[in-house]
Structure 1
């Protein structure tokens, strides 16, 4: 008869595959595939509604442009992720399509980060040196995209470091702004992303690690959306009431 430990290993195998070498891609189980799709698909409609809300709250051209940029980055993240994970789960035989979508899924993260900073950089007062971050953040996103195109899945640690630098470097400008409203929400969202990175690199060690990472991304994005809505788009009269 099978030993309890063997039965436990077999049961765990239903929810998590073995960890793969650094140069290979982890293959989720059926349950993990479903969780990967659901944990980002759920946020597509809320992200569209939230982005539309910012658009209708816009009072000038810069607020409108920033709402569009941020909305496209936010919605694009969840849509691309959901499409990629669905194809990877149900149409994995389409190797080239899956490979291209996987690259696109990685690329869109850079533009999501840049888009998340856009409202703060466009709508808040910046110092002379800090104003360069308005365009520098997009150069960083473009460099990250080029890196993915040429070195996709080849140097995974470097890829992770690129995301970290992209996420933290513009924050130095945000923290130096004269108006510090929303800073704590931005820091809280950043903490969610940092904690999520632990699971981002834990496939094969923790069951549903990638889906858990997706949830941390959603929590971080939600926290940052709240900060943008409250401190950059909410009319001043309502802002005062909320603050009280």
Structure 2
């Protein structure tokens, strides 16, 4: 009887912690070593899919809107480049996370899609800069940066192909350099309309990077990263629509 009485306090003291662990187990798995890929829980898988799938249709509609607002060849080309980058980001991400969730036994397919998902980010960054580099007066460096961003995207793609998931910190630094280097040219443009929106979008991306590498530390970290990407992309889209496409359309209507 006495031994049973002594065991009960220990059991009661462990119960709250065990319940807490069980509750968190459904929302987050243990963190993995740097050379391995984190395996999301069922809830995290669903959130990863939903947080980017939701934006596929808006990105298609938004890209189409820029195309119909285009007044010349450069605006049309820029709308196509930006639209493909924007839509491609959300579509590829959604397909990869869906396969990773529902068809994880297809190891090779999942691996290739994961690589493709990371490669698309480089081209999305380059595509996001394309309208500004093509449609704004930026000085002598602009003509070089138009091609340099695509060279950087190609180098990033080659890096992912050969070193995918090996050096995660290096991969993160590549995204940061790719995101900020062209901004040096953009921020020097004489016409400063849209600067604040560009900076705000950049802040969203930077804040999201905190969650990008926090799987296993913060529940739904990757899904939160997806939301920051969506907010950043939405802010940049507004700037492109408002300051690069809408003014010319309004002027045309007035002249008519």
Aligned pairs, number: 244
Structure 1: tracts of 5 or more residues without a match: none
Q: TM-score, normalised by structure 1?
A: 0.96
d(CA) in 2 for partners of 1:219 and 1:8?
Answer: 32
Q: Is the 8 A contact 1:130 1:173 kept in 2?
A: yes
d(CA) in 2 for partners of 1:21 and 1:58?
Answer: 48
Q: Is the 8 A contact 1:26 1:204 kept in 2?
A: yes
Runs of 4+ aligned residues of structure 1 deviating over 2 Å after TM superposition are 235-244
d(CA) in 1 for partners of 2:36 and 2:22?
Answer: 23
d(CA) in 2 for partners of 1:94 and 1:200?
Answer: 24
* Higher Rg: 2
Q: TM-score, normalised by structure 2?
A: 0.92
1:128 offset after TM fit, Å? 1.2
Q: Is the 8 A contact 1:137 1:170 kept in 2?
A: yes
CA deviation string 1:180-208 (max 9, x = no partner): 11000000000000000000010000000
Q: Is the 8 A contact 2:67 2:80 kept in 1?
A: yes
CA deviation string 1:36-67 (max 9, x = no partner): 00000000000000000000000000000000
d(CA) in 2 for partners of 1:9 and 1:74?
Answer: 39
Q: Is the 8 A contact 2:51 2:226 kept in 1?
A: yes
Q: Is the 8 A contact 1:230 1:239 kept in 2?
A: no
Aligned-residue CA RMSD in angstroms?
Answer: 2.5
d(CA) in 2 for partners of 1:241 and 1:162?
Answer: 43
d(CA) in 1 for partners of 2:30 and 2:216?
Answer: 5
d(CA) in 1 for partners of 2:14 and 2:175?
Answer: 45
Structure 2: tracts of 5 or more residues without a match: 1-12
